[in-house]
Structure 1
Amino acid sequence: MKQVPGRKVGIKDVADRADVAVSTVSHVLNGTAPISPEVRARVLEAAGTLGYLAKRREKATIAVLRSVMLAVPSDTLPHNEYNLYSWTLLSRLMRECERRSIRVVPVEVDQPNFSGSELIAQARAAEVDGILLLNDDRRELLQEIAGSGIPAVLMNGEDQEMQIDSVTPGNRFAARYATNWLIEQGHRNIMHLTWEGRSTIRRRRDGFLDAFRANNLSLETAYVHHAEGYLPDLGGAAIERWIAKHEGLGGITAIFCAADNLALGAMTALRNAGYAMPRDVSVVGFDGVALGEFTAPSLTTVSVPLDHMGTAALHLLEQRITNANAALPAHRLELGCRLTIRGSVRTLP
């Protein structure tokens, strides 16, 4: 069957393409009768090819989720070169909400005297279907949200008590993968440049150390070095302290940074100290924000799927609303990251 542009695809079109009865398509899509695996596969393939599955899913989404409260720290709202991670995540989320006609009610959670009870009160007053919380994984705040009974999803954070749903990058696995790749390139003396951040940042440190253990390498050459924060100038200052203390690089051949911001600052400090990258030292970032493409050399980094995190959070929220009476356990969804290899790393002989 040839699809006519502009014409709505219906269940009969799926049946014709799969060469089955309309009732068979209905049973497959609704799970109302046993169907052979061969016929089921044929129906699903036809429905997917014609775009019927996507339209059906989209229609159900709009019906389930009409409005959300978006609770964010204030420093994520302005668009600047230092908060590209959160800003990119939020812009993709807002675009998806606009596409689905989901009303968004923003609120800043780090205002003076703002508590979990205030957030809950505002959510009830706005009559939202659920709450999306970004970055803020304070235990007391999560407990109050969980106790309210309002469906909620934490984005880019960890609920240590698993009381509400959450979606986050697979920080530990991605850091292990990146460090393991550095080890495969011949690096053994590697610095992990990080800061005392939230648990999501500590997971990146954990993954860094995991890679050394997995390769039976001594942790004595896995150097964890702390900056005072995640901004580029603080990353640069940390590298300057290291160079001054060791009167050089101290034997390290690679630096794996817990954020691209740190990597940008580290590269500036290294360049100012007379070191060439990657000839003298290799550098890897984490986040995959756009600035890494324009550094010299271009920055190898762990790219986080920011385009998908908001969509995944909305999906978790929909599941929670749809199964409101099922007492489902909290879900923690970790999204896979990928290593974007550019020019800032060299293979050792």
Structure 2
Amino acid sequence: MAGSGKIGIKDVAREAGVALSTVSHALNGTAPISNEVRMKVLAVAQRLGYLAERKAKATIAALGTVLLAVHKDQLPHNEINLFSWTMLSGLARECERLGVKLVPYSPEGPLEHRPIVSAAQDAGADGIIIVAQDRYELLNGIRQSGVPAVLMNGEDQDMCIDSVVPSNRFAARAATNFLISQGHRRIMHLTWGDRTTVRRRQEGFLDALAGNGLPIDDACILRAGGYEPSYGEEAVTKWIAEHGGMNGVTALFCAADNLAVGALRALSSAGLSVPGDVSVMGFDGVTLGELLNPPLTTMRVPIPQMGPAALALLEQNIVARDSERAAQRLELGCSLIVRASVGSPSERVARG
């Protein structure tokens, strides 16, 4: 369509070949029209970008300022913090696109609800986005304050406030199912920490074993001291030393790509080939897995979508203004990225 001005209802009517009133009725549901005409109008409005523009205007009206409560550890941009950085960058870009002011709040110590609420009030914030927390006292305190809030990449087990999180358990089950489909039966889960979102990945791993008739009582779960590659390398190196090899393990499912990077280093140092001797699977898809040797198979988390999804939930909460509104948890689906780090176990490895 010629011109670079903003798209209006007249443009939609002209492109769809209908009256202005018909476009209005189709978009607002204010009068009965045929489904064929309604679908035609909606298709044109979407193609021209009018629907996106209407949504953006509605969001701008509901959201002026948002307080971002995040721990300082998640702010630096470095090679081991790509998940948080990518997520926060996506949120910042969406706020910029919508004209929403994002005010960071990152104290030196733990996040506590009273200082967060006070900071939101001082900033004149319409709502709060909290990142990667799962403490009941914190989340319930914010809920009781009455300030609309959304938890991003954290799990509120008591469903006090809205939250956006990857489908950690389902995705981990899918990742493990893929390894099983390739012929692996003795699979190690390399994980770390005790955050709820990470535990969900372990639960998905066990779900897949049970669903495929594999024993879970002696499931091979290896805990690293942290999520950085060095911790993954240390844990796998220690396992190999203590067992004189992989002790029958033919595949590693790592709870983060960072851990997978460390596992690859440890296996290489031990003279084990990937995927010839051991297959390696990651989780999150933020590391440049295609540049590793071999390129890393992983479950990709839709990290850039988390910020926009959190803003949309915050907008819904503000617009609803309903004290009886139930908290909502939005789980985003993850996708399997198959690369060269996973193969079928060799007969030699499977026997040994």
Same-fold status (TM-score > 0.5): yes
Q: Secondary structure at the match of 1:290?
A: coil
1: CA distance, partners of 2:12 / 2:62: 25
What TM-score do the two structures reach when normalised by structure 2?
Answer: 0.94
Match for residue 349 of structure 2?
none
Report percent identity of matched pairs. Answer: 57
Partner of residue 117, structure 2: 120
Q: Deviations over 1:38-72 (max 9, x none)?
A: 22211111211222111111122222211100010
- For residues 65-144 of structure 1, the aligned pairs below 5 Å read 65-109=63-107, 111-112=108-109, 115-144=112-141
Q: Is the 8 A contact 1:73 1:136 kept in 2?
A: no
Within 5 A, what are the aligned runs for 1:1-349? 3-109=1-107, 111-112=108-109, 115-219=112-216, 222-325=219-322, 327-348=324-345
Distance between the aligned counterparts of 2:234 and 2:101, measured in 1?
43
For residue 91 of structure 1, report the CA deviation from its aligned partner.
1.2
Report the secondary structure of 2:288's partner residue.
helix
Structure 1 unmatched ranges of 5 or more: none
Please state how far the C-alpha of 1:226 moved relative to its aligned partner: 1.1
Structure 1 residues 326 and 146, CA gap change in structure 2 (3 angstroms): closer
Conserved? CA contact 1:189–1:221, under 8 Å: no
- Give the counterpart letter for 1:325 in structure 2: D
CA contact (8 A) 2:277 2:345 kept: no
Alignment deviations for residues 9-53 of structure 1 (CA, whole Å, 9 cap, x no partner): 221222233333221211221122233322221111121122211
Moved more, 41-50 or 323-332: 323-332
Query: Hey, what's the Cα distance between the residues in 2 that align with 1:32 and 1:329?
Result: 28
Cα deviation, residue 241, structure 1: 2.1
Following TM superposition, where does structure 1 have runs of at least 4 consecutive aligned residues deviating by more than 6 angstroms? Answer: none
How far apart, in 1, do the equivalents of 2:109 and 2:6 lie? 52
Per-residue CA deviations over 1:142-173 (Å, capped at 9, x if unaligned) read 01110011111000001111010000000011
What is the SS of the residue equivalent to 1:219?
Answer: coil
Q: Deviations over 1:159-201 (max 9, x none)?
A: 1110100000000111111111111111111000111330100
Asked if 1 retains the 8 angstrom alpha-carbon contact of 2:298 and 2:337, the reply is: yes
Letter in 2 for 1:34: P
Q: Deviations over 1:105-142 (max 9, x none)?
A: 11115x33752111111111111011011002211110
**Distance of 2:334 and 2:174 partners within structure 1:** 9
* Structure 1 residue 313: Cα displacement: 0.4
How far does residue 291 in structure 1 lie from its aligned partner after superposition?
3.0
Following the alignment from structure 1 to structure 2, what is the Cα–Cα distance between the partners of residues 299 and 199? Answer: 25
Query: C-alpha distance in 1, partners of 2:295/2:135?
Result: 36
- Cα offset, 1:221, TM superposition: 6.6
Instruction: Give ranges in structure 2 of 5+ residues lacking alignment.
Output: 347-352
Alignment partners' CA distance in 1, 2:109 and 2:173: 38
Q: Which residue of 1 aligns with 2:350?
A: none
Counterpart of 1:255 in 2: which secondary structure?
Answer: strand
